[in-house]
């Protein structure tokens, strides 16, 4: 949701924090702010709008010197994106500043309590109440005769405040009375520690500090971290020292730069062949069988599975829909696909023999995390398919398959989606191999086919100029419909979602067989309809049926844009625009048919003058329910 950076070290904090916020702006860009501690003073600045507004204000005003600081980019929840609602928020005396990611569910009662105690609240946010709670804790300690300037006093105040809070939150604070410290806390919201030489970092994503260190530490649930230039201390909310796990980030700062592309999304679309190859790397063991290094679930337990439930949100949900086809076809296990936001509220039937697969790019998607926790409470086994090492969801699951897509900065998912598909295919094949529904050589054959997918996606990318031209031509349209069958149906949904996210257009995806059950009423003269056509060699009956669907919409004047494999001569006469993709096995077809839809949405949004990396009202990681 929001981007947070904290720094304590030997550099100018403002420079480090602003650079980190640039790398985290994809997490929220409604407003931005910074606070720095120096010589017993707290200096801060904040502005509504994108980070550039803050940078310009800093350039015009007095410098913010200091070697301890915190910064924030906001995705608004409580209160509109205005200067007063921007973070950091301060206490009444200007001694401390706090930034926040998440939602404090009991803030209304706490706000009323603070107001009754005489605190002046200047914003509409749930965050500001934390500043006043910290102020009260520090004042109470002072009244008891405690020396507030001692190391650790802000951390103790944070622990006391966190024990009163309900909801999901990351909090990071600085205080002039504990001047060398930056203190952070997390519950159900991401926060990671970066460990440098003579400097340390707190951030909601490792991208914030990757320019300075690749050494990171996972901050666990209900933990408080205190960083100083010379060290890090982590405790629970109860003050008990916590054991932490360190890891090394396996990508560098260049992976988070645009590398000459106008937008991160363009770069990430182009990176998809490499991302697929990296996800497949090392998945065949020395014995020739498929092996998943992160699979911590014993083989005997996986053989007992009698039902699989995939939970995910947004684009990841579409990956799960495609996974269902592969799982049921290869494993012969019943599979359900659920929106994570609805999953636990309908009282699903879960047992010890149920495997729940949670798909999330960030590993911090709050709806999916809550679904994981519900499944574990029901004693189901839970496996994560995730892109971010050390994030919350894989840490709370029984097993994980990391997709190795590298950092994805653009809000609209591209390479993460394709690698999620590859991850789903690998899990399905692994289960099929364990359960004997596929022999080892059969699984290896499919993995061999998957190994050809980077080349196939490369071929698609090399032929996208006509798609870009089409997108520019259709930029003035008000609506686009998408149709698909079999695995093409989730691809149609994904194509429509991309257009909604980026171009702010009305776009809908439908199962083509449902056309006559209502959606055909939407067809009118000139309406663009994108049709994802199944391979004629894979599912002939479905191919024939979708050709009939195309004829039905052509008869009503629609403009038909067809995505079909090379050599599909049967569909060619009925396409106003034909986009050809390489022939691949039916279940793997989404890996190539999705790419033109990504390019189409990106180019159409660009033609409309939109920022495709940071579409309005959206943030990369949805870390609140």
Show the domain range for 382.
258-451
Average pLDDT over residues 493-513: 96
Q: What is the pLDDT of residues 262-300, one digit of tens each?
A: 999 999 999 999 999 999 988 877 777 788 767 788 889
Residue carrying the six token digits 């034909």: 578
* pLDDT over 60 at 149, yes or no: no
Per-residue confidence (pLDDT) for residue 165, from 0 to 100: 95
Tell me which H or E stretch contains 622. none
* pLDDT over 60 at 11, yes or no: yes
Q: Among the options 324, 498, 500, 620, which is catalytic? A: 620
| Together in a domain, 397 and 331 | yes
Q: Are 582 and 563 in contact (CB under 8 A)?
A: no
Question: Quick one: which of 471, 474, 508 has its CA closest to 601?
Answer: 471
Tell me which H or E stretch contains 158. helix 153-162
450's tokens: 């998957």
Q: Are 492 and 482 in contact (CB under 8 A)?
A: yes
Per-residue confidence (pLDDT) for residue 540, from 0 to 100: 65
| Together in a domain, 27 and 98 | yes
Residue carrying the six token digits 């706000």: 111
553's tokens: 């919409």
DSSP-derived secondary structure for 490-523:
HHHHHHHHHHHHHH--EEEEEEGGGGGGTGGGG-
Average pLDDT over residues 451-480: 96
Q: What is the pLDDT of residues 390-403, one digit of tens each?
A: 788 999 999 999 99
Q: What is the pLDDT of residues 188-230, one digit of tens each?
A: 888 999 999 999 999 988 889 999 999 999 888 999 999 999 9
For the chain, the domain total comes to 3
Q: What is the pLDDT of residues 263-272, one digit of tens each?
A: 999 999 999 9
> Exposed, middle or buried, 14 (CB in 10 Å: 0-12/13-18/19+)?
buried
Last residue of a domain, which of 253, 284, 319? Answer: 253
State how far the alpha carbon of 567 is from the alpha carbons of 488, 534, 563, 582, in Å: 18, 13, 12, 9
Whole-number percent of the chain with pLDDT over 90: 74
Per-residue confidence (pLDDT) for residue 141, from 0 to 100: 64
Pick the range with the lowest mean pLDDT from 23-27, 81-85, 236-240. Answer: 23-27
Per-residue confidence (pLDDT) for residue 441, from 0 to 100: 81
Per-residue confidence (pLDDT) for residue 601, from 0 to 100: 97
Average pLDDT over residues 119-130: 92
DSSP β-ladder status, 399-402 and 231-236: unpaired
Average pLDDT over residues 451-466: 96
Q: Which 3-state string (H, E, C) describes 347-362?
A: CCCCCCCEEEEEEECC
| Together in a domain, 262 and 288 | yes
| Together in a domain, 446 and 464 | no
Q: What is the pLDDT of residues 323-369, one digit of tens each?
A: 999 999 999 999 999 999 999 998 899 999 999 999 999 999 999 99
Per-residue confidence (pLDDT) for residue 326, from 0 to 100: 97
**Could you tell me the CATH number of the domain that includes residue 313?**
3.40.50.10490
| Together in a domain, 398 and 425 | yes
Q: Among the options 2, 162, 331, 386, which is catalytic? A: 2
CA distance 185 to 181: 13
Which residues on neighbouring strands pair with residue 180, listed in sequence order?
none
| Together in a domain, 428 and 471 | no
Q: Are 616 and 500 in contact (CB under 8 A)?
A: no
Average pLDDT over residues 484-505: 97
Residue carrying the six token digits 């980026």: 502
- Would residue 324 show up in a list of annotated catalytic residues for this protein? no
Q: Is the dihedral of CA 561, 567, 571, 576 positive or negative?
A: positive
| Together in a domain, 439 and 528 | no
* pLDDT over 80 at 447, yes or no: yes
Burial 176-211 (b: 16+ CB within 10 A, else e): bbbbbbbbbbbbbbbbbbbbbeebbbbbbbbbbbbe
Higher pLDDT, 206 or 482: 482
Task: Say how far residue 617 (Cα) sits from the centre of its chain.
Answer: 15
CA distance 455 to 466: 20
Q: What is the pLDDT of residues 520-568, one digit of tens each?
A: 999 999 999 999 999 886 666 788 889 989 999 999 999 999 999 999 9
Q: Are 79 and 85 in contact (CB under 8 A)?
A: yes
* pLDDT over 70 at 151, yes or no: no
pLDDT range class, residue 77, cuts 50, 70, 90: confident
E strands present in 49-133: 68-74, 89-90, 96-104
Q: What is the pLDDT of residues 579-614, one digit of tens each?
A: 999 999 999 999 999 999 999 999 999 999 999 999
pLDDT range class, residue 245, cuts 50, 70, 90: confident
pLDDT range class, residue 16, cuts 50, 70, 90: very high
Residue carrying the six token digits 């590398």: 259
pLDDT range class, residue 439, cuts 50, 70, 90: confident
* pLDDT over 60 at 143, yes or no: no
| Together in a domain, 402 and 492 | no
| Together in a domain, 240 and 342 | no
pLDDT range class, residue 420, cuts 50, 70, 90: very high
Per-residue confidence (pLDDT) for residue 618, from 0 to 100: 85
Phi, psi values for residue 598, rounded to 5° = -65, -50
Instruction: Give the dihedral of Cα atoms 329, 330, 336, 338; nearest 10 deg.
Output: -110
- Would residue 2 show up in a list of annotated catalytic residues for this protein? yes
CA distance 409 to 406: 10
Residues across the chain: 625
Q: 610's torsion region: left (phi>0), alpha (psi -120 to 50) or beta?
A: beta
* pLDDT over 70 at 96, yes or no: yes
Last residue of a domain, which of 391, 416, 451? Answer: 451
Last residue of a domain, which of 404, 420, 451? Answer: 451
| Together in a domain, 215 and 72 | yes
| Together in a domain, 487 and 446 | no
pTM: 0.80
* pLDDT over 80 at 144, yes or no: no
Per-residue confidence (pLDDT) for residue 249, from 0 to 100: 87
**H helices, E strands: number in the chain:** 19, 24
| Together in a domain, 248 and 262 | no
Question: What average pLDDT is seen over the chain?
Answer: 91
Q: What share of the chain is helix, strand, coil (3-state, %, to 5)?
A: 40, 25, 35
**Could you tell me the CATH number of the domain that includes residue 185?**
3.60.20.10
């Amino acid at each position: 949701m929001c981007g947070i950076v904290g720094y304590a070290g030997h550099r100018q904090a403002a420079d480090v924090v602003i650079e980190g916020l640039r790398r985290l702006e994809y997490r929220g860009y409604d407003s931005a702010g910074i606070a720095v501690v120096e010589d017993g003073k707290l200096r801060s600045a904040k502005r509504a709008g994108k980070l550039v507004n803050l940078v310009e204000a800093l350039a015009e005003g007095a410098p913010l010197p200091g070697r301890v600081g915190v910064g924030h980019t906001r995705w608004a929840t409580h209160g509109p994106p205005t200067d007063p609602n921007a973070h950091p928020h301060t206490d009444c005396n200007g001694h401390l500043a706090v930034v926040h990611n998440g939602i404090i569910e009991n803030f209304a009662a706490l706000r009323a309590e603070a107001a009754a105690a005489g605190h002046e609240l200047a914003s509409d946010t749930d965050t500001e109440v934390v500043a006043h709670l910290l102020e009260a804790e520090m004042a109470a300690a002072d009244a008891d005769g405690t020396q507030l300037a001692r190391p650790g006093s802000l951390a103790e105040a944070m622990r006391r405040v966190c024990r009163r809070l309900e909801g999901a939150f990351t909090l990071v604070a600085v205080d002039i009375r504990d001047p060398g410290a930056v203190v952070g806390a997390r519950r159900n919201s991401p926060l990671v520690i970066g460990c440098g030489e003579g400097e340390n970092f707190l951030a909601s994503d490792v991208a914030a500090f990757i320019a300075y260190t690749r050494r990171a530490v996972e901050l666990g649930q209900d933990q408080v971290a205190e960083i100083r230039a010379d060290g890090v201390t982590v405790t629970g909310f109860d003050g008990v020292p916590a054991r932490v796990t360190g890891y090394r980030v396996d990508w560098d700062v260049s992976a988070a730069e645009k590398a000459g592309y106008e937008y991160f999304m363009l770069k990430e679309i182009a990176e998809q062949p490499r991302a697929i190859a990296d996800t497949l790397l090392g998945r065949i063991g020395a014995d020739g069988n498929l092996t998943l290094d992160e699979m911590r679930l014993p083989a005997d337990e996986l053989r007992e599975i009698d039902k699989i439930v995939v939970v995910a949100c947004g684009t990841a949900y579409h990956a799960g829909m495609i996974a269902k086809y592969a799982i049921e076809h290869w494993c012969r296990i019943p599979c359900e696909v659920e929106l994570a936001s609805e999953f636990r509220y309908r009282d699903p039937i879960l047992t010890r023999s149920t495997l729940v697969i949670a798909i999330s790019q960030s590993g911090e998607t709050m709806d999916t995390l809550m679904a994981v926790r519900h499944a574990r409470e029901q004693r189901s086994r839970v496996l994560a398919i995730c892109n971010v090492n050390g994030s919350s969801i894989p840490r709370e699951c029984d097993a994980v398959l990391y997709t190795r897509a590298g950092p994805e900065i653009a809000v609209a998912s591209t390479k993460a989606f394709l690698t999620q598909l590859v991850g789903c295919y690998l899990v399905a094949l692994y289960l099929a191999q364990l359960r004997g529904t596929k022999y080892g050589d059969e699984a290896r054959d499919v993995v061999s086919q998957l190994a050809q997918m980077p080349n196939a996606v490369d071929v698609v990318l090399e032929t996208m100029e006509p798609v870009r031209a089409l997108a520019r031509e259709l930029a003035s349209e008000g609506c686009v419909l998408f149709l698909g069958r079999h695995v093409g149906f989730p691809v149609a949904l994904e194509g429509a979602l991309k257009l909604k996210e980026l171009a702010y257009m009305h776009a809908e995806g439908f199962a083509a067989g449902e056309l006559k059950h209502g959606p055909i009423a939407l067809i009118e003269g000139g309406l663009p309809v994108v049709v994802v056509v199944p391979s004629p060699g894979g599912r002939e009956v479905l191919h024939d049926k979708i050709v009939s669907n195309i004829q039905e919409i052509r008869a009503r004047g629609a403009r038909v844009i067809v995505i079909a494999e090379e050599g599909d001569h049967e569909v060619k006469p009925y396409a106003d625009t034909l986009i050809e993709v390489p022939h691949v096995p039916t279940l793997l077809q989404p890996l190539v048919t999705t790419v033109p839809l990504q390019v189409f949405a990106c180019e159409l949004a660009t033609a409309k003058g939109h920022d495709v990396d940071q579409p309005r009202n959206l943030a990369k990681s949805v870390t609140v329910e």
